[in-house]
Amino acid sequence: MAIEVKIPAVGESISSGVVSVWHKKSGDFVNAGDALFTLETDKVSTEITAETPGVLDTMVPEGQEVKIGEVVATIDDSKTAPAKSEPPERKAAPKKTEQKPAAASKEKSPTALSPAVRRIVEEERVETEKISGTGKDGRLTKGDVLAAAQNRKSVGEASFPGTATPSLTAAEDRQSADGRFTRKKMSPLRRKIAAQLVMAQHTAAILTTFNECDMTAVQELRAKSQEAFMKKNSVKLGFMSFFIKASVEALKTVPPVNGRIEDEDFIQNNFYDIGVAVGTDRGLVVPVVRDADKKSFADLELDIAGFATKAREGKLKIEDLQGGTFTISNGGVYGSLLSTPILNPPQSGILGMHKIMERPAAVNGKVEVRPMMYLALSYDHRAIDGKEAVGFLIKVKECIEDPKKLLLDF
């Protein structure tokens, strides 16, 4: 009997994805739990596995966009695994020395790669058989494939006008006749991100309001408490936990910022799941800190550190990224002084943090040099009035400039 393989629901607001790569081909026998293909959405890449053993028959090509619930393959569970796979193993078993090259080759195959490395291989179209792995037992690391991808790009840029670069194909990367530019097909994930950003701009009335805050009190408190905090919790006390706490207080003060528009209704969220943008070598992802209002500074910092590690290793799950009610993005870590962040649909608000810069400020009638940060709140003007947006930023500013307004549970 043919069992349908459908695109599963992978989170609210996600209606489609892209089949970026098939890990199994039509006619292959698959076991339950085998990775069939990678589904890329605007939020994360996830492997879809077989739920039953049988022979696979794929129905859509790589790179095609598919909708949630769409049938992309079938598995014939009436067929069993071919018996001929056993004899070669018995035959090769005594010759241990002859198996080593095959094993090394297997280590480099896409199915043996870690999720993070495999994603880079798929998106950059790196030929793994041409790379020497520097990891344990010759395994390929992220550094290996990123270096290979960069080397390929450098070769393409250095080619003479009109000459072909061996590692580039006409279907993927094409150089202009005069060599002044190279045309490269966007990865499926980048295409989805682009579409999501445009969708956010077209479906919400986005407006941004600004304020600034004096970081002196937080910096002094952080420096004073850092050593004891580290000893007690084995994690550093960062700035993000202060802004999460301050944002929760501001959301309680101005509830509409913690809501969303759904058709003709306004949904008011009475919980505080805060999305925190995390940078990776493949782009930004936004894992969600659940029930942030109920967590201590240590809990928040541990959550953030855990998400950063999972993001770097490519181990974030779709459930880590879905269901947020409000988002915080820190462009300051990249040196941004001011920006207008784009909403993360279906949310109605996003707070942008920026670089801490020493600037002249008026303090008690005198000019002093203080560490200042610009704050930006982008919001959906259909749901939130300007007065409410300004009130939100003022509350954040008050909590940061006077941290005693927060519950300091170091």
Separation CA 25–CA 43 (nearest Å): 26
Burial of 43 (0-12, 13-18, 19+ CB in 10 A): buried
**Cβ-contact 171, 183 below 8 angstroms:** no
Residue identified by tokens 């018995």 is 90
With beta carbons less than 8 A apart as the criterion, state whether 116 and 313 touch. yes
Residues 6 or more apart whose CB falls under 8 angstroms from that of 401 comprise 213, 214, 216, 217
Which pairing describes strands 349-353 and 366-380: parallel, antiparallel, or unpaired?
antiparallel
Token output for 71 = 């049938």
Q: Which of 335, 339, 356, 348 is nearest to 383 (CA)?
A: 348
Amino acid identity, position 265: D
Phi, psi of 47 (to 5 degrees): -85, 130
Q: Give residues with Cβ within 8 angstroms of 174, minimum separation 6.
A: 168, 182, 183
Q: How far from 193 is each of 7, 29, 233, 299, CA to CA, in Å?
A: 19, 34, 36, 30
Q: Tokens 């959301």 label which residue?
A: 251
Q: What is the rounded CA–CA span in Å between residue 386 and residue 400?
A: 21
**Residues designated catalytic:** 381, 385
